[in-house]
Amino acid sequence: MCAVVCTACGQQTVEKKLDAYFNALDGHFMGSIVVQQDGKTIYQRSMGWADLENQIPAIAETQYRIGSVSKTFTAVLVMKAAAEGRLSLSDSIAKYFPDAKIPNAEQITIDQLLQHRSGLVDITNDKPYEYYTYFTTPQTRQQILERVAAAGTNFQPDSEYRYCNTGYNLLGYILEDVWGKPYAEIINDQIVSLLDMRHTRYSEAIDPQRGDARSYTLLDCWQIQPETDASVAIGAGALASTPADLARFGEALVGDVFGDNIFEQMKQVKDAYGRGLVQFTYGDQIGYGHAGLIDGFSSKLVVFDNVTIAYCSNGTDYDTNLIITAVLDALNGKTIEIPDFDIYVQLTPEQLASYAGTYKCDALSMEVTVSVAGSRLSVQAIGQQSFPLDAVSADQFENAIVGVAITFAPDRKTVILKQAGQEFEFARVGDD
- In whole angstroms, give the CA distance from residue 81 to residue 172: 12
pLDDT for residue 10: 66
The closest alpha carbon to 81, from 113, 119, 106, belongs to: 113
Residue scoring higher pLDDT (367 or 159)? 159
Say yes or no to pLDDT of 421 above 80: no
| CA 364 to each of CA 7, 64, 228, 297: distance values in angstroms, whole numbers, following the listed order | 59, 33, 22, 27
Say yes or no to pLDDT of 162 above 90: yes
Average pLDDT over residues 343-351: 87
- Give the Cα-Cα-Cα angle 299, 303, 309 (nearest 5 degrees): 45
Average pLDDT over residues 308-336: 93
Give residue 18's pLDDT band: very low, low, confident or very high (50, 70, 90).
Answer: very high
- In whole angstroms, give the CA distance from residue 334 to residue 25: 19
Domains for the chain: give ranges and CATH numbers.
Answer: 10-331 (3.40.710.10), 349-428 (2.40.128.50)
Say yes or no to pLDDT of 3 above 90: no
Average pLDDT over residues 346-363: 91
Among the ranges given (45-49, 157-161, 399-403), the one the predictor scored with the smallest mean pLDDT = 399-403
Most confident of 39-53, 217-231, 409-423: 39-53
DSSP secondary structure code for residue 188 in this structure: I
Average pLDDT over residues 41-65: 97
Say yes or no to pLDDT of 186 above 70: yes
Among the ranges given (243-257, 281-295, 364-378), the one the predictor scored with the smallest mean pLDDT = 364-378
Average pLDDT over residues 215-220: 86
Q: What is the mean pLDDT of the chain?
A: 92
pLDDT for residue 346: 87
What percent of the chain has a predicted confidence (pLDDT) above 70?
96
Residue scoring higher pLDDT (6 or 303)? 303
Note the pTM of the prediction, 2 decimals: 0.86
pLDDT for residue 4: 39
pLDDT for residue 432: 59
- In whole angstroms, give the CA distance from residue 126 to residue 171: 19
Give residue 9's pLDDT band: very low, low, confident or very high (50, 70, 90).
Answer: very low
